[in-house]
Every structure is written in structure tokens, then in C-alpha cells.
Amino acid sequence: MKKQKHQEHILVCLSSSPSNPRVIKTAAKMAKVFNAVFTALFIETARSKTLSKENQKRLQQNTAFAKHCGAKVVTISGDDIAYQVSNYAKTSGVTKIVLGRSGYRANRFFTPPNFVDKIIEYTPEVDIYVIPDKVQKLYLGQNPVKEKIFSFNIKDSLDSALILCGATIISGLFYKLGISESNIVMVYIFGVMLIAYFTESKIYSLVSSILAVLIFNFFFTKPNMTLLSIDNSYQITFLIMFLVGFFISSITKKIKFDAKQSYLKAYRTEVMLEMSQMLQQAQNTEEIKQATTAQLKKLLDCDVSLYSPQDAELENKEISYPIKNNDTIFAIAVINKKEISEFEKSLLIAMLREASMAFEKAQILESKNELLIKHKQEELRSTLLRAISHDLRSPLTGISGNAELLLNNAKLLQEEKKQDIFEDIYDDSIWLLNLVENLLSITRFDKGEIRIHKESESISDVIEETLSHLGRKKENFNIVPIIDDENLYAKMDARLISQVIFNLVDNAMKYSPQKSTITIKAKANGRDIEVSVCDEGAGIPEKEKNNIFDMFYTVKNTVADGRRGLGLGLALCKSIINAHGGEITVKNNTPAGSIFSFKLEGDFYE
């Protein structure tokens, strides 16, 4: 059985060196030849932020060139560059490392091993390719502006002086109590360590180490109050005291820096995790924009704005990054910050990539919803056409048949028979008129074309006006309006509420036996006016009450006049009442029938 061959993975280091593009180009060619994964690695150290503007610009150019060559750019942080490179190579399965190298050679006895030698030592299992460079020194991103070692500030100077004074006072107490000199030396070393922790510049560690030795010599060695010492062995004590103090202060500085870096890593990880959670919970593109802006502000500690790709304000913006997928730019992130470190830039790009995925997901969901709406509209249109073609056939056939009968046999028909035919034509035409009116109204509500104009109207006047439009059919029923107070007023659109009452009463007549009573009640209910239409029909089964207000839904009860509607009347009633901020309900009447009720905002004169 053949052993499976692992895919080659080539790693190149990014730096601000002028020769770095040559190294990147060589690594890119190797990746193409070996058909390998190609990664460009940048190590951000404490001194990366002190790079000169020229080197920062060159580093950006080298990074862009690596991306152009097809490399995946990765940024990690750490002070020991060789260790970080080798550690990444081991964890990422790197098989070949391509490095640049100056003419510098390590001397085994007088100089430490150089970067290339360390890499070879740390990763003996990885192939190392060194590209010679006789002109340019090896940069590796560490060609900084000359660091201000001798920088002073008043606060750090006062802190250092106070700590040394405190150490001297404590040492004086120890000296009077007869405590040994070795313990006094430890007090001063502890003081030097505190100074290193509370100050920023390295000069304070160096100066405090020297001053600690001098103060100890001046106050606590014989002869006192002088820098001279009788015992020559003190010279060794002073030297060791200085070296130990300076060494401990240096370690303290490094621990302080590492703690700061760890905090930054934890903070940045938390920011990215929060962003991921916020994007998952976002319901639309506006919430995605808000989450992305807020988390980028946290990451970069500066103002961040998101613009649409067509926004004219982008012309004057210097630092901007697109939020995009392969085909679409969703937004442009504008960063109000002059400089962004490579490590911050890599995190920024990762967060923007996550935001683009959220935008894409929202776009797909929006398209899906649009398709669902279109599907529902098509389904509604099909249902409507089927219903119209079926339910309009009976009245139209009746009207045309009766009209034909009158045209051909008018002279042969008795006046009483003619009157019956006229009444049938009238009833069918009124039924068609009401159906078309409901159909037009529900369509306008569905498109959002109807605007509610509320005014204070008398309930009794609206009910009286509605009853006058019921037509000839109302003569077959006992319709009784019961209004508790003639001065009941409600805030409503009178025309629409009249249509609601008309539909409810017409519905009651349709499903109730002739000569039965239909009651229209109006009363005050708290701050509302409650209107109810009660009939004595067959009632509505409990299982159908939840669906009775759905469009095109009709109950299976026997219709008194033989005409079954499209199921639009109650759906229209619900839409009108909801638009008024109310609610329409149905319940059983006693001993038989149904009660439809709705509430409107009352207008009471106090």
C-alpha cells in the first residue's frame, strides 16, 4: 500500500526589508512548482509600532505584494521571532520555510546565533531555503525608529524617587533593629523591581539600580555617610546588587509587556466572539451594520463608519475596507485612524469577512422572503380567480336568464311574475355589487392603499346609515338596533366602519332563518365603544372559529339564500378593525346563533 503524500506548505516571513519582495517572489514560484499552500507570516513585536514611516510603508507594500502572489497573510504577536515562526510552522504543517539573509554570520564564541540559525535549530524537520542578500540587512519587521531609551517624565521620576525614599526608610529601620545587610539589599532590589513595574522607560530601571547601590553604600556601609568603604569585599556586593537589580527590573518589564499583550489578545478575542454572537442574532442588514460598527470601534479604539458603495462621501476618505463576497460589495468600512498595525489589520479583515457572510445570509433570506411573498401572491391570485369564476357564475346566470325571459316573453308574463323576476335580478345585482365592493376593499388593504381618517362620529348615526343600505332583503328579518346611549361617540373612519357593520349584518342574514331577529348593540365598555351583531342562526363550530376571519374561508353551514360568498367579508372586517387599533371576536349566542363584536376608541365628553 502506498503511503499517502502530504500536501506541501510553504512559509515566507514578511518584513520591511527592501529585499523582502525578492524572497516573497521566490517563495511564490516554489509554491507554484510544488502546487503548495502558500502562507506569508508577519510577527508583531513590542518594537513593531516604532517602525519609521518609510519602513511602515514598505511593510504594507510587501504585505500587498504577498497577497498579490497568492499568499495567505497571517499575523501573530510575540517577542521571540524565531520561536514564533518555528511554532507556527509546526502547528500549521509547514514543510518548507523561505528566508532572506544578510552577510552576517554568527560567531559561536562571541555572538549569539542569528535568526536563520535559530530557525534551523528550532525546526530541524522543516526544509529551510535561504535567499542570500549581500546588500541589505535582515529586517524581519524590526528596523524601528531609534527607541527613546533616555526619555524622562515627571510622573515616573516622582514615582521612582518616592519608592527609593520608602526603601531607604525601611532599610534604616532594619539597620537600627540590627537586621543583617543582606535583608537591606533585598529591600532595595524589591524597590528597583517596583520602579520597573510602575515606570515606562528602561532608563528608570538602569538609574534606580545604580542609585540603590550608591544609597546602600552611603547610608549602610562603614564608614557611614560616605561613598568610601573599608572592606574591599563590598565591591563585589555592590556589583552583584547592581546586576541582580537590573536583571530583575528587566524581567519585570518583560512580564509587564507580556501581561499587556495577553490582555490585548483576550480583549480582541472577546470582541470577535461578541461580534459573532451579535451577527447571529441580527435580523436585518441594519442590525448587522450596527453590530459591525460597534465591534470595529472596540477593536481599533477609533471612529468607524459604514457607507454604501455608491456613497459620494467615500471620495475624501483615506482608509477604507470593502465588506464583500466574490461578487457583491455590501458596504464600505471607513476607519478614522492614521495607522493600523498588521495584527490589527488581520483581525479587521477577519471581522469584515464575517460581516460579509452575515450580509450575504441576510440577502439570501430577504430574497427567499420575497419569493415566498410572490408565491403567496400567486397562490392568492389563483384562489381568487377560481373563487370568482365559480361563485360569480350563479348570479350572472340568473341575471342573464331572467333578462332573456323578459326580452322574449314579456307580453306573455303576468305582472306578478314580472315583479318576481325583477326582484330576483335586483337581488342578484346587489349581491354582485357587495361582493365586488368587498373584493376591491380587501385588495386595497393588501396593497396598503387605504388610509384611515379617524374622526369623532356618532355610533347611532353610523348604524342607522348602514341599515338604510341593506336593501330589500332586510324586510325578511327583524333587525333591532339597541344603543345604550344616543350620545355614544367613537373615533373612526365612518365609511369603513359602516362597511364592517354592513358585512356583519349581511352575513347574519345569510346564515339565519327568515323572520328571525338580528340585534345590533352598542355600549360603552371602559374607555371603548363595543359594537355587537347577534343572530339566531346555526352558529359557528368551535373548530372553525380560529379560521373564520381568514381570507377565502367559509363555514359549511347551510346558506339561507343559497348564495355562498367568497369568504372576503369577515377578512375585510378584521383588516378594518385592526387598522383602527381594535380587535374583532366571535362567540356563541344563547340559545342559538353567533355574536360578532368589535371595539373602537371612545370619544367621551366630560
Which residues, 6+ apart, have CB-to-CB distance to 312 below 8 Å?
Answer: none
Same domain, 408 and 469: no
What pLDDT, on a 0 to 100 scale, did the predictor assign at position 381? 66
| Contact of 508 with 597, CB cutoff 8 Å | no
How confident is the model over 301-316, as a mean pLDDT?
Answer: 71
What pLDDT, on a 0 to 100 scale, did the predictor assign at position 143? 42
Looking at residue 543, which CATH number applies to its domain? 3.30.565.10
138 pLDDT higher than 60: no
pTM over 0.75: no
Same domain, 422 and 463: no
pLDDT-derived band of residue 555, with 50, 70 and 90 as boundaries? low
Domain boundary among 242, 260, 278: 260
Q: Higher-confidence residue: 505 or 2?
A: 505
Question: Considering the chain, what is the average pLDDT of its residues?
Answer: 79
What pLDDT, on a 0 to 100 scale, did the predictor assign at position 2? 45
Q: What is the DSSP string of 329-345?
A: EEEEEEE--S---HHHH
How many domains would you assign to the chain? 4
pLDDT in tens, 473-506: 788 899 999 988 888 899 998 888 888 898 899 8
What pLDDT, on a 0 to 100 scale, did the predictor assign at position 452? 78
Distance CA 389, CA 448 (A): 26
Which among 246, 265, 395, 406 has a CA at the least distance from the CA of 343? Answer: 265
For 19, the domain range is: 9-132
Whether residue 412 is contained in a domain is answered as yes
Give me 241's grid cell.
Answer: 546588587
Output phi, psi for 492, to 5 deg: -160, 165
Same domain, 23 and 122: yes
Same domain, 42 and 124: yes
pLDDT-derived band of residue 293, with 50, 70 and 90 as boundaries? confident
Same domain, 212 and 78: no
Characterize the bridge pairing of strands 478-483 and 72-77.
Answer: unpaired
What pLDDT, on a 0 to 100 scale, did the predictor assign at position 134? 52
Which among 305, 193, 178 has a CA at the least distance from the CA of 248? Answer: 193
Q: Higher-confidence residue: 545 or 553?
A: 545
Same domain, 107 and 190: no
Distance CA 150, CA 382 (A): 85
Whether residue 275 is contained in a domain is answered as no
Residue 137 Cα distances to 73, 140, 270, angstroms: 23, 9, 38
Which among 291, 315, 286 has a CA at the least distance from the CA of 304? Answer: 291
292 pLDDT higher than 70: yes
Same domain, 88 and 108: yes
Share of the chain above pLDDT 70, in %: 83
What pLDDT, on a 0 to 100 scale, did the predictor assign at position 312? 47
Same domain, 178 and 94: no
Which residues, 6+ apart, have CB-to-CB distance to 66 below 8 Å?
Answer: 12, 14, 24, 40, 73
What pLDDT, on a 0 to 100 scale, did the predictor assign at position 539? 85
Neighbours of 590 (CB within 10 A): 8
| Contact of 105 with 114, CB cutoff 8 Å | yes
Domain boundary among 430, 450, 470: 450
What pLDDT, on a 0 to 100 scale, did the predictor assign at position 392? 66
Kindly report which listed range (11-25, 207-221, 351-365, 561-575) carries the lowest average pLDDT score.
561-575
pLDDT-derived band of residue 147, with 50, 70 and 90 as boundaries? very low
Distance CA 34, CA 95 (A): 11
Most confident of the ranges 16-25, 73-82, 331-340, 414-423: 16-25
Whether residue 433 is contained in a domain is answered as yes
| Contact of 128 with 99, CB cutoff 8 Å | yes
38 pLDDT higher than 60: yes
| Contact of 143 with 112, CB cutoff 8 Å | no
pLDDT in tens, 182-223: 888 888 888 888 888 888 777 887 888 888 888 888 888 877
Same domain, 14 and 121: yes
Distance CA 602, CA 417 (A): 50
The 3-class secondary structure across 541-568, one letter per residue, is CHHHHCCCCCCCCCCCCCCCCCCCCCCC
Neighbours of 337 (CB within 10 A): 13
Kindly report which listed range (40-49, 136-145, 208-217, 542-551) carries the lowest average pLDDT score.
136-145
Neighbours of 36 (CB within 10 A): 18
Share of the chain above pLDDT 90, in %: 9
Give me 477's grid cell.
Answer: 328579518
Whether residue 38 is contained in a domain is answered as yes
